[in-house]
């Protein structure tokens, strides 16, 4: 085979490889979501669901602890209204998280949830959560953000507590880059 023929064959393989990598990059998002739903990583709990009508509230108590964390040197005040709650599987609860922008600039924040132990993520269902959308706060603004949730009645009997942690990230720069607006 001539050098030109070898070069064409190599070019064809490289193009096929490049197309395969682009396809793989598009497949990563759904694969990551499936992985997170199965493992509970990043607080994926199977999506927004509505409680089943007539679901029986169980009398056993589960302790749900709330933790908050700020990432990347944020200058915000971020905390939960309650450090923990005693909850019954099958009952809907509402709690709030407080955030205050302590800077002199508008910010866009995104909260990423995480559940521990991870195998319990499938049993915690959030029907309303500030983590579903980005939170825009003006300079000095503060607000209380809701989380409405329930534990599935199939919550494993051998667990008596779980932890829901929210890590707050400042995504202002990535939002302004994506929208083409900036200061």
pLDDT, tens digit, 9 for 90 and up, residues 115-135: 999 999 999 999 999 999 999
Tell me the percentage of the chain whose pLDDT exceeds 70: 75
Q: Domain 41-179 sits in which CATH superfamily? A: Ctag/Cox11 (2.60.370.10)
Per-residue pLDDT band for 6 (boundaries 50, 70, 90) equals confident
pLDDT at res. 21 = 75
Domain map (residue ranges) of the chain = 41-179
Q: Please provide residue 118's backbone torsions phi and psi, each rounded to the nearest 5 degrees.
A: -60, -30
CA 43 – CA 97 distance, rounded (Å): 16
Half-sphere exposure of 37 (CA within 13 A, CB side): 10
Structure tokens at 176: 């302004």
pLDDT score at 131: 92
What is the per-residue pLDDT across 143-160, written as a single tens digit (0 to 9) for each? Answer: 999 999 999 999 999 999
């Amino acid at each position: 085979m001539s050098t030109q023929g070898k070069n064409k064959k190599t070019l064809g393989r490289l193009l096929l490889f490049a197309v395969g990598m682009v396809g793989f990059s598009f497949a990563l998002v759904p694969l990551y979501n499936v992985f997170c739903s199965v493992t509970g990583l990043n607080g994926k709990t199977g999506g927004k669901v509505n409680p089943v009508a007539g679901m029986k509230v169980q009398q056993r108590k589960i302790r749900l602890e709330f933790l908050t964390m700020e990432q990347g040197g944020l200058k915000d005040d971020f905390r939960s209204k309650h450090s923990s709650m005693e909850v019954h599987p099958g009952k809907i609860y509402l709690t709030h998280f407080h955030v205050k922008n302590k800077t002199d600039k508008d910010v866009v924040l995104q909260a990423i949830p995480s559940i521990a132990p991870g195998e319990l993520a499938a049993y915690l269902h959030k029907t309303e959560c500030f983590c579903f959308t980005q939170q825009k706060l003006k300079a000095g603004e503060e607000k209380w953000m809701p989380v409405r949730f329930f534990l599935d009645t199939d919550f494993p009997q051998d667990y008596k507590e779980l932890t829901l942690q929210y890590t707050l990230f400042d995504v202002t720069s990535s939002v302004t880059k994506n929208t083409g607006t900036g200061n």
